[in-house]
A and B are shown apart, each in its own frame.
Chain A
Amino acid sequence: MSETSESRSGRRTAYPIAESIPQEALDAEVAALEALAARPWPTRIWGYVRLGGPGFMGAALTLGAGSLTSAMLSGARFGYKTMWITWLFVGVGVFMLAAMVRFTCKGGFRVIQEQNRRHGRFIGSFLTGLIGCLAVAMIFNAGQVSLGVHLLESLAGFSGVPLAKWVAVAVYGGLTSWILLSYGRGGRRGTRAVETVMKACIGLMLVAFGVSLALVGVDWAAALEGLFVPWLPEGGDDIYLVIASSASAVGVMDWVFLHYAGLARGWGEKHEALGRMDIGMGLFLPFVVVNLLVVALFAGTFYTPGLDAPGTAPELAAALAPLLGARGAEVLFYLGFLAVPISTTVGMSLAGAMAAHEALGWEPDVRSWRWKAVLLLPQVGLIGAWAANPIWLIITIAAFLSLSGNVVGWSMYLLLNDPEVMGEHRCRSYVWNLGILLGITLLNAVAIVYVMNRFGWWF
């Protein structure tokens, strides 16, 4: 069991990144939360948005090249028909995220350590920490870099000054590394600064894609049907695209990151309400809205039954830009799109570093060379800028990862329902458990459909 400490902010689990946060700051935050609880809802929601952070970081992490490419291709190939997948999968995933917030605030442990203790190192350190987080960060960052560098080159092209690829790689690598190395520095200041950057990235995506959609228009009848009437393609590569859309919703990395990012903020017993609001306002809403905006944007512009749309994210973006009309709208679209890989590189690298330290039994010290080395390990993906079209590789790996996501989900469900682990804070709600089990069943289904399609048994 990890160490815990008592204070006005309640019992909290010791986590080295939070150690430099003064106790008075955490107590003041709890006092602010208690004051907010008595305020009217609009004020309360704004207060939670201001105090939140790990949820926004989770959304920024999840809204990456993989999920946005899946959304763009889904819109271009299937029109509005797959819109139901996003809200359903993320909505069901919210119950598991609430479990992670419970572990953070009231569990008294660090989750990978507890998985190791209760379910073995294969499920804890290996499947959750090393495969579900570190490997994902390393493999997927190549796709983020590839997309980010392409977007930087395109943005430079608008000014008429071509940008050499190595310069774009240096800018992307330098910017993301600088943000990453700020995390946890200077007490809470560094952590909050990174959270603010991530919130700004989400805001930029919402504005950019929202304006673009307003310019091209929406077929509301088709969009409403796509939101609420389930539809699946008939197999082959198309089903991989749907699996990727589902798998890129909320998964192992999001669960683990929310838990450790909360610990890094010093969240204790009295932060659970903030954590839950952060899931709703910071993670669920931004993720769903940005995804739906992108699907609708490409459904409205490129979906024509029987005709092939461009096959990659850069091709789709390049084809869309002229349809937006004004040059300013094109630039805004590309800036919003650039926020996608940048925020994901930052979020994934942090999640990978936190999880790798837990998996290998290391204490995270943001000043140590080991932390910095592991944190920047995914930047090997910078060579992805020279690799040819890794988008389908990303999608295939996303689908493959869905095979282990359900087993980690089983482990989390068992921890939440284990009286020896959670004591009086174990799950006592039938509905909460039901939501988690529906999420696990969806993850099971994703894994099973992936295998069936792989062997040609799916339609």
Chain B
Amino acid sequence: MIDVDRKLGPWRGRVWGLVLNFVGNVIALVGLVRLMRGGSAWVLAFGLAVTLVCVAVLAVPSRGHD
């Protein structure tokens, strides 16, 4: 299981996850435009997958100390 509260470089995993989620959102919306213009659905699917994984992982509550 990924520990999103571990520090990775300057930030905690949760911050990196938020940045990655944003990138996934950009890819999904660019993919949506491409699809609507007659392109393939792969970019949209990839962006949605990144978004879903990020949201699912980041929603796990912290197991930190009490």
- A-side interface residues toward B, CB under 8 Å? 406, 410, 413-414, 417-420, 423-424, 426-431, 433-434, 437-438, 440-441, 444-445, 448-449, 452, 457-459
Contact = CB atoms under 8 A, between A and B. Distances in A.
Interface of B: 5, 12, 14-15, 18, 21-22, 25-26, 29-30, 33, 36-37, 51, 54-56, 58-62, 64-66
A438 B55 CA distance: 7
Best-surrounded residue of B30, B37, B56, B64 (most CB of chain A within 10 A)? B64
B29 A459 contact: no
Given A423-B66, A440-B18, A459-B36, A448 B29 contact: yes
Contacts of A440: 18, 21
A2 B60 CA distance: 28
A448 B25 contact: yes
A437 B37 CA distance: 29
Given A410-B18, A414-B15, A417-B14, A449 B58 contact: no
A426 B59 contact: no
A459 B29 CA distance: 11
A67 B62 CA distance: 36
Contact of A459 (B33, B62, B65): B33
A417 B21 contact: no
Given A410-B18, A440-B18, A418 B62 contact: yes
Given A438-B55, A452-B33, A458-B33, A444 B61 contact: no
B66 A448 contact: no
A433 B18 CA distance: 13
Nearest to B57: A437
Mostly helix, strand, loop or mixed at chain B's interface?
helix
Contact of A430 (B25, B60, B64): B60
Nearest to B18: A410
Closest 10 CB pairs of A and B: A419-B64, A433-B59, A434-B59, A444-B25, A437-B55, A424-B66, A410-B18, A428-B61, A417-B62, A448-B29
A457 B26 CA distance: 12
Given A428-B61, A434-B56, A449-B29, 11 more contacts: A419-B64, A427-B62, A430-B60, A441-B51, A444-B21, A444-B22, A444-B25, A445-B25, A448-B29, A452-B33, A457-B30
28 contacts: A410-B15, A410-B18, A414-B14, A414-B15, A417-B14, A419-B64, A419-B66, A424-B66, A426-B61, A426-B64, A427-B61, A429-B61, A430-B59, A430-B60, A433-B58, A433-B60, A433-B61, A434-B56, A434-B59, A437-B54, A438-B55, A444-B25, A445-B25, A448-B25, A448-B29, A457-B30, A458-B33, A459-B36
Contact of A441 (B5, B21, B61, B66): B21
Nearest to A235: B33
Contacts of B61: 417, 426-430, 433
Best-surrounded residue of B5, B14, B59 (most CB of chain A within 10 A)? B59
A452 B33 CA distance: 10
A116 B61 CA distance: 23
A434 B56 CA distance: 7
B29 to A, nearest CB: 5
Contacts of A459: 33, 36-37
Nearest to B37: A459
Contacts of B14: 413-414, 417
Given A414-B14, A427-B61, A430-B60, A441 B33 contact: no
Contacts of A428: 61
A458 B62 CA distance: 37
Contact of A413 (B18, B29, B56): B18
Given A417-B14, A430-B59, A445 B29 contact: yes
B55 A441 contact: yes
Contacts of B59: 430-431, 433-434, 437
B53 to A, nearest CB: 12
